[in-house]
Amino acid sequence: MCYHLITFTEGGCNHRWATKRHYIDCNMTVCRLSQRHSSETHKCPAECIDMNLPDQSICLYQQPGLCYTCRGLETPRMKNYDSEDDEYDSENDE
Ligand SMILES: [Zn+2]
Ligand SMILES: [Zn+2]
Ligand SMILES: [Zn+2]
């Protein structure tokens, strides 16, 4: 099942903030959300899986400094990455 994986950074103040959002494709042909979805391999109305898992989050990075909020700054918006080619989605840039 396809889902979004959000990576977090944790600061020295123990606060976390989201940095990147990856789309994880399950690559199942019966998953309607997958890019591999193929209606030729199954009967869509009966066998298709149409389920979106909730976003998963993982803390990947740690940094000794304070988070943006503790420094009185605005936390930058997380970046969106495509899972296939890791291409930066400039639409979501500032
Ligand atoms: Zn899927
Ligand atoms: Zn289908
Ligand atoms: Zn903080």
* pLDDT per position as a tens digit, 26-61: 999 999 999 999 989 999 999 998 877 899 999 999
Please report which ligand is nearest the Cα atom of 47. 2
What is the CA(14)–ligand 1 centre distance, in A? Answer: 33
What is the 8-class DSSP label of residue 29? T
What is the 8-class DSSP label of residue 27? -
What is the CA(68)–ligand 3 centre distance, in A? Answer: 7
Query: Averaged over 57-84, what is the pLDDT?
Result: 89
Nearest to 2 by CA among 47, 49, 52: 52
What is the CA(24)–ligand 2 centre distance, in A? Answer: 18
Q: Which residues contact 64 (CB under 8 A, 6 or more apart)?
A: 11, 12
Most confident of 21-25, 51-55, 69-73: 69-73
pLDDT at 86 over 70: no
Task: Round to whole Å and give the CA distance between 27 and 36.
Answer: 5
What is the CA(34)–ligand 1 centre distance, in A? Answer: 5
pLDDT of residue 82: 64
Bigger pLDDT: 82 vs 58: 58
